[in-house]
Amino acid sequence: MAVIGNPARGAAALVLACSVLFGAPAVAGAAPVRPADACVAGENLGEIANNFISRCRKGSIRQVFPGEHLGDTLGFVRGCGLKSCNTAWKLLNDNRFKK
């Protein structure tokens, strides 16, 4: 004799599985969950500064950010030692520009 499961439970499992596979939130209207360190400059040292700014910082940072470092990785900006790198690193970690 075969045991048939609860159809509502099976439907809920299907919805959850599809949401995981296709990246949709499990609950309608819920925002996707990001890790807490997703927008910490020190945790994203391999990312290009321009991409990090677009993803995690307000657009107003671009008015004061040294343009020559927009194409550099955050790791390079952190350790290069130039005055412009120090300025860029401080701006990336300044709470005024966090989204």
Residue 42 has a pLDDT of 95
Separation in Å, CA 52 to CA 5, 10, 74 = 47, 40, 8
Backbone CA torsion sign across 57, 60, 65, 67: positive
Number of CB atoms found within 10 A of residue 98's CB? 13
Would you put residue 2 in left (φ > 0), alpha (ψ -120 to 50) or beta? beta
Reading the block at residue 2, the tokens are: 């075969």
Tens place of pLDDT per residue across the chain (99 aa): 555 656 666 665 655 555 545 554 545 555 555 566 689 999 999 999 999 999 999 999 999 999 999 999 999 999 999 999 999 999 999 999 999
Residue 80 has a pLDDT of 95
Residue 15 has a pLDDT of 56
